[in-house]
A and B are shown apart, each in its own frame.
Chain A
Amino acid sequence: MITSKDLEHIGWLARLELSEEEKEEYAPKLNPVLDYFSDLDEVDTEGVEPTYHVLALSNVFREDEVNTKCPLDQDEALSNAPNSQDGFFKAPRMM
Chain B
Amino acid sequence: MWASINELKERIHADSSEEIVAQYLDRISKSKLNAFIYTVGESALSRAKEIDTNDIDGPLAGIPVAIKDNISTYGIQTTCASNILKSYIPPYDAHVIERLKEAGAIIIGKTNMDEFAMGSSTETSFYGATKNPWNMDRVPGGSSGGSAAAVAGGEALLALGSDTGGSVRCPALFCGVVGLKPTYGVISRYGLIAYANSLEQIGPLATSVRDVASLFDVVAGYDPRDSTSVDKEVNYSSALMNDVRGLKIGVPEEYFEEGTDEKVEKAVRDAIHTLEDLGANWKKVAMPHTKYALSAYYIIAMSEASSNLARFDGMRYGLRTEDKDWHTTFSQVRAAGFGDEVKRRILLGTYALSAGYHDKYYLKALKVRTLIKQDFERAFKEVDVLITPTMPYPAFKLGEKIDDPLSLYLADVDTVPINLAGVPSISVPCGFSDGLPIGMQIIGKHFDEAAILRTAHTFEENTNFHCKRPEGY
Contact = CB atoms under 8 A, between A and B. Distances in A.
Contacts of B324: 92
Contact of B323 (A37, A45, A92): A92
Interface string B77-119: 0000000000111011000000000000000000000000000
30 contacts: A2-B351, A10-B347, A12-B331, A13-B354, A14-B334, A14-B346, A16-B343, A16-B346, A17-B328, A17-B334, A26-B340, A30-B344, A33-B406, A33-B409, A34-B348, A36-B409, A39-B292, A40-B361, A45-B368, A50-B363, A50-B369, A54-B184, A55-B446, A79-B91, A80-B91, A83-B323, A89-B315, A91-B326, A92-B323, A93-B325
A55 B228 contact: yes
A16 to B, nearest CB: 5
B373 interface: yes
A86 B338 CA distance: 30
B395 interface: no
B289 interface: yes
B246 interface: no
A36 B265 CA distance: 25
A79 B366 contact: no
B316 interface: yes
Interface of B: 87-89, 91-92, 184-185, 198, 224, 227-228, 230, 289, 291-292, 294-296, 298-299, 306, 310, 313-320, 323-332, 334-335, 338, 340, 343-344, 346-348, 350-351, 354, 361, 363-371, 373, 404-406, 409, 420-422, 446
A57 interface: yes
A36 B407 CA distance: 11
- Classify chain A: how many residues form its interface, as a range: 35 or more
Contact of A81 (B317, B326, B420): B317
A2 B88 CA distance: 35
Contacts of A52: 198, 366
Contacts of B347: 7, 10-11, 14, 16, 26, 30
B368 A40 contact: yes
A68 interface: no
B318 A82 contact: yes
Contacts of B332: 17
A55 B422 contact: yes
A95 B329 CA distance: 11
Interface in A1-58: 2, 6-7, 10-19, 22, 26, 29-30, 32-34, 36-37, 39-41, 43, 45, 48-55, 57
A66 interface: no
A92 B371 contact: no
B308 to A, nearest CB: 12
B325 A92 contact: yes
Contacts of A26: 340, 343-344, 347
B351 to A, nearest CB: 5
